[in-house]
């Protein structure tokens, strides 16, 4: 096994390796091929760890535990959840990881009524879809990135 961790060329930076470097890596042994082993998802989870934020106890309408967005099957990964640039909608960006066409089912437990597929600039590119029982579906082509605006 071999791993190159620091680039050592001198162009465009004539002093590329000066300073302190912190590097983390993981070894993920598995059987079978990389898609069956969920390698992409494991790598994504390693590189994007959850951060916990604590608050003082207070009254509220939500329970102690809540799932905001779920997506199935596992080869669809949520890459971003953020507020839209031009209104109070929520933007969901996700992608397919295994190189196979897949129907992604997205379950939203927010107070949402409609969803529309957008481009990366959040401009609508598809029809408005009704959310049925908190779920909407979309077909993902191999390795496709999709963005949705949820109102």
Residue 108: CB atoms within 10 Å:
20
Q: Is the pLDDT at 138 greater than 90, yes or no?
A: yes
Does residue 128 contact residue 112 with C-beta atoms inside 8 Å?
no
Give the pTM. Answer: 0.73
Distance of alpha carbon 112 from the chain centroid: 19
Q: Is the pLDDT at 137 greater than 80, yes or no?
A: yes
Identify the pLDDT of residue 124. Answer: 94
Q: Is the pLDDT at 146 greater than 80, yes or no?
A: yes
The CATH number of domain 69-150 is 1.20.1250.20: no
What percent of the chain has a predicted confidence (pLDDT) above 70? 99
Higher-confidence residue of 147 and 113: namely 147
| pLDDT per residue as tens digits for the range 78-88 | 999 999 999 99
Distance in angstroms (rounded) separating the CA atoms of residues 89 and 151: 5
| pLDDT per residue as tens digits for the range 63-106 | 777 778 999 999 999 999 999 999 999 999 999 999 999 999 99
Read off the pLDDT of each residue in 45-70 and give the average, rounded to a whole number.
Answer: 81
* Cross-strand bridge partners of residue 92: 81, 148
Q: What does pLDDT average to over the chain?
A: 88
Distance in angstroms (rounded) separating the CA atoms of residues 149 and 90: 6
């Amino acid at each position: 096994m071999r791993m190159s961790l620091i680039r050592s060329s001198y162009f465009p930076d004539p002093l590329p390796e000066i300073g302190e470097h912190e590097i983390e890596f993981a070894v993920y042994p598995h059987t079978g091929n990389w898609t069956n082993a969920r390698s992409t998802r494991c790598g994504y989870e390693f590189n994007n760890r959850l951060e916990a934020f604590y608050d003082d106890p207070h009254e509220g309408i939500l329970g102690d535990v809540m799932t905001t967005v779920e997506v199935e099957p596992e080869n669809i990964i949520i890459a971003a959840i953020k507020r839209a640039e031009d209104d109070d909608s929520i933007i969901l960006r996700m992608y397919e990881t295994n190189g196979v066409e897949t129907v992604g089912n997205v379950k939203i437990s927010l107070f949402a009524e409609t969803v529309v597929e957008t481009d990366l600039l959040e401009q609508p590119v598809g029809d408005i879809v009704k959310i049925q029982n908190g779920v909407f579906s979309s077909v993902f082509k191999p390795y496709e990135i999709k963005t949705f605006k949820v109102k």
